[in-house]
Structure 1
Amino acid sequence: MLQFLKAMDNVMYYPILLIVLGFAAFYFTGRTRFVQVRHFRESLRIIFEKPADDRAVSSFQALMVSTASRVGTGNIVGVSTAICMGGPGAVFWMWLLAFFGASSAFVESTLAQIFKKKNKETGEYFGGPAYYIETALHSKFFAGAFVVFLILTYGVGFNMLASFNLQSTFAAYEFYHPQNTPLYIGAILALLVAIVLFGGGKRIVRITEIVVPVMGVLYVLASLIVLLAHVTIIPSVVHLVIQDAFNFKAIFSGMAGSCMIYGIKRGLYSNEAGVGSAPNASASADVTHPVKQGLVQMLSVYIDTLLLCSATAIMCLSSGILPSVKLSGAPYVQQALSTVFGSFGPIFITIAMILFAFTTLIGNLYYVDNAVAYLNHKKKPGKGAMTIIHIICVLVIFVGAVVPMDAAWALADISMGLMTLINLPACFLLSSIVIHALRDYEEKRKTVEHPAFKGEDIGLYDLDCWQ
């Protein structure tokens, strides 16, 4: 079974997803005229805008929910695995994917806002790829398939992987026992997540809004300290990354295990641009124009890859510790930090991983809740049904702590790839709508600070929320 999963994983990313991701990223970048560059300052301005209704979800809150899912164990273990398994050049391909993939994030999140729905009882907004696939492309089959793959990805694949990655950080300590320690860590993590889950969705938003920024700042500060301690060799590290990234002889001699494929796999796992996850959070934001949330969600990709993943990569490569398959995962990062912080290095990574894993799990289950609501005729199931679903999710987290590493990565890669293969083609087919919305925003922004949107402005007359 493990060999089958690994073979399927390899074929999916080379050549299928390599072609689909590359085409989508370059196409959206061209059609939006490098929106990720032109409107970067505008996205920073928008991020702290308050919604008209104080009870509504703000752009910042929606960004934090999606960032909670994006910014997680992938920033530590994912980057380390990419370097140790694929080589230093993987970092360059992660950067490239993030820069061009930010346009994909803009398109999918703008679409989620345009085709979002409103809960008449609570006043809350909801939506995502399933909704714009069903509404705009009139395909309930692909919308349903996307939701099923989303549940498998975030409820099973990613949560198992986050749990596994967290327990693996404890392998650096003497008390770690391969048979018993993963069970204890899995049980504690599952219990903590259960406490939050049964506190309600609003608590999820509040917790991620507070924890994610603190978690990111502390980790970047620690990385900067390591970088400053090894500042003299940073230029040679950057040169090594670029040199290895364009070693095409090595890449094409073993494409599936090359730095390019590992960079794409782990980059996509980390920033999720084009996967179709972030639009579920984007749709919940109360904004005056759909393009605003698309611009805000671009920042999440930058925060994740260009900031946090880069911090991990350069910190590790400048530490003097040589990457190897044996060090793949948390051990490589722990040893890198040890070169400056000594015995506190592994402890700091363990603390960071606990926070990363926890917020990743919470963000992931926010998506699962939305997906389940879609399958239940676009309304949240009763309390009893949700309790059962949450119990299953909690059990998955426990199981994830004890599964083999290769199986955890393969399951996450495959389910994420299937989501992407539905979402990106849908975004491509609907991209003209996004371009019209972007032009509408740009024209109105010339005269007003807060452009207002109506569906009829771009020829859409049957939208639920923009009439």
Structure 2
Amino acid sequence: MISNIVSWISDFMYGYLLIILLLAGGIYFTVRTRFVQFRMIGQAFRAIMEKPAGGDDKVSSFQALMVSTASRVGTGNIIGVSTAICLGGFGSVFWMWIIAVIGAASAFIESTLAQIYKKRGPHGSYGGPAYYIEAALHSRPLALVFSVCLVLTYGFGFNMLASYNLQSTFASYSFYDPNLTPWIIGLVLAVIVGYCLLGGGQRIVRVTSVMVPMMGLAYVLVSLVVIVMNITYLPAVISRIFSEAFDFRSIMGGFSGSCVMYGIKRGLYSNEAGVGSAPNASASADVNHPAAQGLVQVLSVFIDTLLLCSATAFMCMCSGIEPTEALSGAPYVQEALQSTLGMFGPLFITVSMVLFAFTTLLGNLFYVDHVFNYMFGHTPGKCFMIVYRIIASLVIFAGAGLSADLLWDIADVTMGFMTIINMPVILLLGKYALKALQDYEEQLRRKDTPFFCAKEIGLPHDVDYWTSKPLR
């Protein structure tokens, strides 16, 4: 009964509400920013290389990018893409691209707002949607509701799903026992993550800043090798993507299982644009101008969906293996690679899933740590954090042995609630992010190093940072 209820809520959210909210909001911000995700892509790369404004001991734009990308880049890039193609068809890939391209503008707005309203702490800056909801809308209850949704999503739903997705990649090996192996893998993963969590947020930043670029590069290179080896399939694959994406008769005939719904579901799960998660990492960056960090998060969305999700999609679709419901998840990816690379293929996917799942779990729990600070009004005590991290590890252990359908629906629903709160809020506050962008561009046109001052955009709210510009 619980599974049916959660599934019904998920179908309602992604069948009507979230599709309208995400597409309308993304299109609005794309137009208002004058396609910032395309025309300022070069400046986004330059912003990544900027050193922290307060010194080398502060969190840089690059480190904040890696933390947010660690959460975005995960099992969804492999298992999520496979599930979308097997259940929704090749056309799902097109709708993943759409939600990424349009959503990148929303990601710019929410991350810029997180920087504008960030708070000053003993170890640097912190912030996120909960902070800009309370500061700008004066609604702590709404901010607390969002915070609870984030804890449920990243502390429970996403982490249980990541654990399940990881163990599912071992199903193709002869030693796999469906009654025992998932629990063993879940236990090992829970112990390793729990140990890492004892190092706190700074260890998470260091670990992810090293692992994310390495695993992402290796994954893309192997994908390119597979695509080149099956290059003759590519024209037919591209044609099929677009023909299925616009097969409206089929889509309207069964929307809940259509390529549109699966593309948006899995695309949103993967890149999280508009969800309100990445701003928690963005607020920790020590930058000279909020818009610079907004541009950095645009790159994070593109890296996740346009690069890594597309790598998985084309690697699978060019293999010649026809996707079916029975192959949904890890089996489709493993069979696709095995057909081209032999036994190296499944082994590579298993190793990739271990790294993707690990960084996803760490990035997710980094967000939860920051939200606890907001909910309690201070950094929680050591005893509370130890208990929470034990519970977080137990959740990872439990997720390995639960039902895949239930876990996908739980993650979709909790993420959906976050988006339903965050998107209307950034639509209300977006005018300040747009003014910050205008200020940033004006300084670039003058060949100045952009520095932000809140009063220059007429910000009516009190902020901890941005009260004055440094003397040039």
- TM-score, length-scaled by structure 1: 0.99
Aligned-pair CA distance for 1:460: 2.1
> 2:91 corresponds to which residue?
89
Aligned-pair CA distance for 1:339: 1.6
Counterpart CA distance in 2 for 1:260 and 1:74 is 17
> 2:44 corresponds to which residue?
43
- 1:1-80 → structure 2 map (5 Å cutoff): 1-52=2-53, 53-80=55-82
> 1:371 corresponds to which residue?
371
Q: Which residue identity does 1:217 align to in structure 2?
A: L
- 1:224-239 → structure 2 map (5 Å cutoff): 224-239=224-239
Counterpart CA distance in 2 for 1:450 and 1:324 is 53
1:395 partnered with 2:394: yes
Deviations 1:323-370, CA, capped at 9 Å, x for gaps = 000100011001111122101111110000000000000000000001
- 1:417-456 → structure 2 map (5 Å cutoff): 417-456=416-455
Counterpart CA distance in 2 for 1:206 and 1:349 is 24
Deviations 1:29-59, CA, capped at 9 Å, x for gaps = 0111101011011001111111131110000
Counterpart CA distance in 2 for 1:142 and 1:38 is 35
Q: Which residue identity does 1:96 align to in structure 2?
A: I
Aligned-pair CA distance for 1:109: 0.1
Counterpart CA distance in 1 for 2:318 and 2:243 is 15
Counterpart CA distance in 2 for 1:84 and 1:450 is 49
1:319 is paired with a residue of what secondary structure? coil
Counterpart CA distance in 1 for 2:63 and 2:292 is 14
> 2:113 corresponds to which residue?
111
- 1:290-301 → structure 2 map (5 Å cutoff): 290-301=290-301
Q: Which residue identity does 2:264 align to in structure 1?
A: I
2:322 is paired with a residue of what secondary structure? coil
Counterpart CA distance in 2 for 1:315 and 1:385 is 44
Q: Which residue identity does 2:52 align to in structure 1?
A: P
Counterpart CA distance in 1 for 2:209 and 2:381 is 27
Aligned-pair CA distance for 1:449: 4.5
Aligned-pair CA distance for 1:447: 1.9
- 1:301-340 → structure 2 map (5 Å cutoff): 301-340=301-340
> 1:201 corresponds to which residue?
201
Aligned-pair CA distance for 1:4: 1.1
Counterpart CA distance in 2 for 1:447 and 1:417 is 42
Aligned-pair CA distance for 1:463: 1.3
Counterpart CA distance in 2 for 1:437 and 1:203 is 32
Deviations 1:108-163, CA, capped at 9 Å, x for gaps = 000000000011x33x1000000000000111111110000000000000000000
Counterpart CA distance in 1 for 2:445 and 2:33 is 18
Counterpart CA distance in 2 for 1:235 and 1:137 is 50
Aligned-pair CA distance for 1:448: 3.3
1:284 partnered with 2:284: yes
Aligned 8 A contact 2:72 2:272 in 1: yes
Deviations 1:179-227, CA, capped at 9 Å, x for gaps = 1000100000001101110012111000000000001011111101100
Deviations 1:240-267, CA, capped at 9 Å, x for gaps = 0000000000100000110000000000
> 1:254 corresponds to which residue?
254
Aligned-pair CA distance for 1:450: 2.2
Counterpart CA distance in 1 for 2:326 and 2:233 is 24
Q: Which residue identity does 2:391 align to in structure 1?
A: I
Counterpart CA distance in 2 for 1:336 and 1:14 is 30
Q: Which runs of 5+ in 2 are unaligned?
A: 468-472
Q: Which residue identity does 1:286 align to in structure 2?
A: D
Counterpart CA distance in 2 for 1:446 and 1:15 is 42
1:413 partnered with 2:415: no
Aligned 8 A contact 2:110 2:279 in 1: yes
Residue correspondences, number:
464
Q: Which residue identity does 1:281 align to in structure 2?
A: A
Counterpart CA distance in 2 for 1:281 and 1:450 is 23
1:118 is paired with a residue of what secondary structure? strand
2:284 is paired with a residue of what secondary structure? coil
Aligned 8 A contact 2:233 2:320 in 1: no
1:166 is paired with a residue of what secondary structure? helix
- TM-score, length-scaled by structure 2: 0.98
1:275 is paired with a residue of what secondary structure? coil
Q: Which residue identity does 2:90 align to in structure 1?
A: P
1:103 is paired with a residue of what secondary structure? helix
Counterpart CA distance in 1 for 2:139 and 2:229 is 55
Q: Which residue identity does 1:356 align to in structure 2?
A: F
Counterpart CA distance in 2 for 1:118 and 1:238 is 49
Aligned 8 A contact 2:220 2:311 in 1: yes
Aligned-pair CA distance for 1:3: 1.1
Counterpart CA distance in 1 for 2:200 and 2:152 is 22
CA RMSD of aligned residues (A): 0.7
Counterpart CA distance in 1 for 2:30 and 2:385 is 40
Counterpart CA distance in 1 for 2:427 and 2:250 is 33
1:430 is paired with a residue of what secondary structure? helix
Q: Which residue identity does 1:84 align to in structure 2?
A: C
2:186 is paired with a residue of what secondary structure? helix
Q: Which runs of 5+ in 1 are unaligned?
A: none
Counterpart CA distance in 2 for 1:296 and 1:129 is 17
- 1:137-176 → structure 2 map (5 Å cutoff): 137-176=137-176
Counterpart CA distance in 1 for 2:379 and 2:176 is 41
> 2:470 corresponds to which residue?
none
